[in-house]
Chains A and B, each alone.
Chain A
Amino acid sequence: MSALVPYIVVGSGCTGAMAAQTLVEAGVQVLMLDAGNTDEIYEKLIPEKDFTDIRQTEENQYEYLLGKKFESISWDKIGSGSQLTPPRKFMVSEVEKFLEVFSETFFPVESLAYGGLGNGWGLGCCVFSDAELKAAGLDSQKMKSAYQTVADRIGISGGQDDVKNYTTSFLDNIMPPAPVDNNQQSLKNKYERKADWFKANNFSLGRTALALITKDLNNRKAYQSKDLDFYSDKGESAYRPWTTVNELKKKNNFTYKGGIIVKQFKESENGEVEIIAWNKEKNEEEVFRTNKLVLAPGVLGTARIVLRSFGKENHNLPVLCNPYAYFPCINFSQLGKKFERNTSGFAQLSLFHDNGMKGDDIAMASLYSYKSLMLFRIIKEAPINFRDGISLMNFLMPAFVIMGLHHPEKQGENKTLSLKKDTSKITGDILKAEYRLTESEKKKIGSRNNLFRNAMRKLGAFPVKMIDPGMGSSIHYAGVLPFEKEEKSFSLSTEGRLHGTKNIFVADGSGFRFLPAKGLTLSLMANAHAVAENILQKEQIKL
């Protein structure tokens, strides 16, 4: 058994990294437990060139564009995580072994990577409105201050336009956005010409705020528009949680231990917490002890750990996930144009629909240009022969706008998780999930999809298809232990403490009672910082 550690943080993703940073900066001793899978193959293979240069000159480009085991060649239908390129696949390695989910209706993506799902984060940053914060059960004042702290840590770029209110709103120190490509600029121009229609229909369009630095920040370099965003993090202009953890490793009061999968905890009467984990390198159980446990393994991971710890294997927990679909659109003004060399794989524009303009029912679409994910992926989706597909898609590709549309999500009866015994698994169980939208929810989503289709047509981009990868594909999960003011089992206090315990806190999105459609990660990180602050304040440790 290990020595007693004052604070243990579980998970190195966006929330674990933020909570750990707050604790470490306050001077307390922190141990981070993490599965910690890393990419040992691809990052070093990718040369210091832009995407077009690589395509034109590199003989061995197939190694990272298709994968050494040709893992990018997928002959299945599009599902959750289909967009992961070979250099990002390490994010989901060993997930089937340790985090299997049994479901016919819910297909989540989880990670055991160093930096967690943050390795594949699309970097979209949005602050929640007061109404959204209230519905999620979050303290508005605390979150506003936490948002600023996180923004200063990670670096955010964004525009000063009609969507600022939905993205960076009150945040200071926002960097200017990266250059926009012609495809997206033409949409913005159309929006400005038809501003009255968009305003009358409660739509706003503007530059997406991204955790992407456009000026050097600490050791990170300003974004270079090399269009390798789906493949490489060279220069670290895109924020990834491991950036933070790498910095924390340099501090004396922080220790990182990888190769660990936390299974459950036990809290003794004096409040000391024992953590039972699986050491996957030694293939044996390992026990850790702490005064304060901060869980941040991701919402589904937290659900597993809490259900196991309370021995409630058949208990149903609620779960939230944003309904998501994407729509390939053709921007006719860009047909047949040559692609710009230096564009971006990240969303460049965001389109918000604020139903009733009260800030409590907002849907959000992110607009992407399509290039570095390669032609073969879209040719496969066309119902024509491959040879003609090549010439047709060559012509269409510079005009492609991919709209990824997220809908807000509320709790519901048929949105649940439970743990089932399965002795064939190392953890001894498997997570069972059910996620069914009601007919009225489906109807509402359908009509809102139509509103967005119409808005895209007004921008000159015509949707040609809707691709629904299924529930779970938004990779936004929350609400398994909803915030409650009263002590109630399987819920969190507003400070993030797990009810029924003294010293166990949850820093991921498990407490959110409502899931806004806006990019979730900035809010998750702000909440993680706020939870860590709450712990320190209770301990009367000065920040």
Chain B
Amino acid sequence: MQNNKSAKNKMQTEAALNPEIYFRYLCGKNPSPKSLELYHAAITVHKIEFSEKENRLHNISLRFPFLISFIDGGLALTNPLSLYRKNIYIILCILETQPEFFPLLSSSSVQNKSNGFLSFIFNGTRAAFTGVFGFILVKIV
């Protein structure tokens, strides 16, 4: 019982220690000290205790960060409320309330309608592709 508990705590600590890769995944930048501080405050309220499978997916993400979008997309289809995604979601919420990221997270980032539409098609296709590939990936892991 105690072993299970300490294993869980370890998993949570691992998630808490490596938010940088998920910040980079969402916004392409390392988090500012303020963002990191908010992230740590948020996960003390919204506990992230990864299951074994989520921990495996997290470890893969650490080693191969380019796979995060696939894992995220695959889980969005198979287990949208997984804690792996919740961890990323918390980071998304924090980013959206940082003035620095206003251009990224507001419609002001859309340059013009035709470019926006092309980008929409491109991103939509990419989202579908990562979803399908990610679906297979999370089933295998």
Contacts and interface: CB of A to CB of B under 8 A. Distances in A.
Nearest to B91: A386
A386 B85 contact: yes
Interface in B82-134: 85-86, 88-90, 92-94, 96-99, 102, 104-110, 112-113, 116-117, 119-120, 123-124, 126-128, 130-131, 134
A428 interface: no
Contact of B25 (A374, A387, A394): A387
B113 A376 contact: no
A56 B97 CA distance: 9
Given A335-B113, A383-B77, A385-B127, A394 B106 contact: yes
B89 A380 contact: yes
Interface string A336-362: 111100000000000000000000000
Contact of A386 (B26, B77, B104, B123): B26
A395 B120 contact: yes
Interface stretch (A8-16, A66-74, A463-471): A66-74
A69 B42 CA distance: 7
Interface in A372-394: 374-376, 379-380, 382-392, 394
Contacts of A398: 107
Interface residues of B, number: 50
A395 B117 CA distance: 8
A375 B126 CA distance: 20
Contacts of A61: 97, 99
A269 interface: no
A391 B26 contact: no
Contact of B80 (A56, A58, A376, A383): A383
Interface stretch (B2-10, B13-21, B52-60, B68-76): B68-76
A55 B26 contact: no
A338 B108 CA distance: 6
A388 B69 contact: yes
B130 A376 contact: no
Contacts of A396: 120
A398 B109 CA distance: 12
B120 A336 contact: yes
Nearest to B128: A384
Contacts of A57: 99
A96 interface: no
B116 A395 contact: yes
Contact of B90 (A73, A337, A339, A388): A73
Interface centre among B88, B93, B120 (most CB of A within 10 A): B93
A336 B89 contact: no
Contacts of A70: 41-42, 45-46, 90, 93
A388 B130 contact: yes
A337 B113 contact: yes
Contacts of A384: 73, 76, 127-128, 130-131
Contact of A73 (B69, B93, B104, B116): B93
Given A58-B99, A337-B113, A73 B76 contact: no
Given A56-B99, A75-B89, A385-B131, 12 more contacts: A66-B42, A336-B112, A338-B110, A376-B89, A376-B93, A383-B77, A387-B25, A390-B105, A391-B123, A392-B123, A392-B124, A398-B107
Question: Which 10 A-B residue pairings sit nearest by Cβ, starting from the closest?
Answer: A336-B116, A385-B73, A388-B127, A62-B97, A385-B72, A384-B127, A336-B113, A339-B107, A395-B120, A70-B42
Interface of B: 25-26, 34, 38, 41-42, 45-46, 69-70, 72-73, 76-77, 80-81, 85-86, 88-90, 92-94, 96-99, 102, 104-110, 112-113, 116-117, 119-120, 123-124, 126-128, 130-131, 134
